[in-house]
Amino acid sequence: MNETDTIARRNVAVLVASQAVLGAQMPIIFTIAGLAGQSLASNACWATLPISAMVIGSMLTATPLSSFMARYGRRAGFYMGTLGGAMGAAVGAFALYNSNFWLFVFGGLLSGIYMSAQGYYRFAAADMASDSYRPKAISAVMAGGLLSAIVGPQIVKLTAQSMVVPFLGSYLAVIGLNFAGVFLFAFLNIPKLPKPASDAPIGRSRRALLASPNVAVAVVVATVSYALMNLVMTSSPLAVVGCGFHTADAANVVTAHVLAMYAPSFITGHVIARFGAPRVMALGLTILAAAGAVAISGVQLMQFFAALMLLGVGWNFGFIGATTLLTTSIAPHERGRMQGLNDLIVFGGVTVASLSSGGLMNCSGSSAQAGWSAVNMAMLPFLVLAGGALVWLLLRPKEI
C-alpha cells in the first residue's frame, strides 16, 4: 500500500463516521419535513416545499462551496456545512413553534448548505486515493450512511411527538447532531491543492468538460439517479400515511430505504472495479425501473417497503457508478471546476423532482393511491433518457 492510500484510508474512516453522525439528519428531515409542511401549509400541494427548499439551497451552494474548498480545503468547507445544518434546524424549530410555514421553508433552504457539503464527502474520499482504491474509497464512505439510516428514523420515533408542538423535538435533535459531528473533521487530512504555477495547465473549460462523453454521461446518470430517488422518497411518507398507516410506519419505510441506499456500498466499489462503472450504472437504472413497477402495483405496507428498498439499491449503483466515472475522467486541477458544476446540475435536477413530488402526490388524483402512482409513473421518461445515454456510451468507439 502506498503512502497516499494510507492517508486516504484514514480520511475514509473520518468521512464514514461523519456520514453516520451528521448524515442522520437527512433521513430525519426527509421523514418529517413533508408531514410538518402539510400541517403548516394552507394548500396541501405545497407540503413538500420545505424539502424542495433544502434541495434548492444545496443546488445554489454547490458551486460556491466547491470553490471555497478548492481555496481553503475540504475541512473548512465541511465546517460550513455543519453550520448551515445547525442554522437550518434552528430556524425550522422556531418556525414550527410559531406555526410559520414560510419561515419553515427558509429553514429548509439553510439546511441545504449541509446537504451540499455532504455531497462532497464522496469526492473527498477520492482525493488522496490511488486509481485502484478510488472506487472502494467512494463506496466505503457511502456505506457510512448505514448507521445514519438506522439512527435518523429512530430519532424521529423518539422525538416527533415528544413535545406539545409536533416534530419540534426532532429539529432540536438535528441541531445536536451538527454540534456533535463537527469535531470529527479535526482528524481529516486532505491537503489543499497547491497554487498552480504560471505555466501549469489550467485544464478544460466547463463546456469542454461537458463535451467529454464520459463526463456528460456520468452527469446525466448521476442527475437522473438522484432526482428520481428524491422524487419518490419525498412523497413516500405522505403516501404511507395517506394510505392509512402511521408516522412510525413511514419512519420504518424510510429506514429500510436508506439502509438499501448504503448497504450495497460494501460491494459496489468491488463490482465497479470488476465490471466497470458504465455497466454498474446500467444495473442501477434497471433497479430504479423495478422500484417504480413495484410501487405502482399496490399500496400495501410491504409494497412500500419493497419499492423503497429497490429505489435505494438502484440509487446506490447508479450514483456511485456515475461518481466513479466522473472522478476518473477529470484531472486533479479540474476537480474544483467540474465537481461544483456536477453537483449544481445534479441538485438542479433534484430540485425539479422535489418541487414536482408534492404536486404529483397531493394534486394529481382524488386519492393518495392515485397520487403515488403518478409519482412513480413520472420516472419513466427520465429512465429512458439516462438509459439511452449509457447505451450510446457503451456502443461508441473507444477513444485512443
pLDDT in tens, 97-113: 999 999 999 999 999 99
Domains in the chain and their CATH numbers?
Answer: 3-187+206-395 (1.20.1250.20)
* Rounded Cα distance, 221 and 342, in Å: 11
Nearest to 105 by CA among 113, 95, 115: 95
215-273 pLDDT, tens digit per residue, is 899 999 999 999 999 899 888 988 998 898 988 888 889 889 988 988 888 788 889 98
Q: Are 288 and 311 in contact (CB under 8 A)?
A: yes
Centre a 10 Å sphere on the Cβ of residue 271 and count the other Cβ atoms it contains.
19
**Cell 410501487 belongs to which residue?**
295
Confidence of residue 1 (pLDDT cuts 50, 70, 90): low
**Average pLDDT for the chain:** 86
Which grid cell sits at 189? 487530512
- pLDDT at residue 142 in the model: 77
The reported pLDDT for the residue numbered 126 is: 76
- Is it the case that residue 400 has pLDDT exceeding 60? no
Q: How would DSSP label each residue in 209-258?
A: HHHSHHHHHHHHHHHHHHHHHHHHHHHHHHHHHHTT--HHHHHHHHHHHH
| C-alpha span between 393 and 336 (Å, rounded) | 25
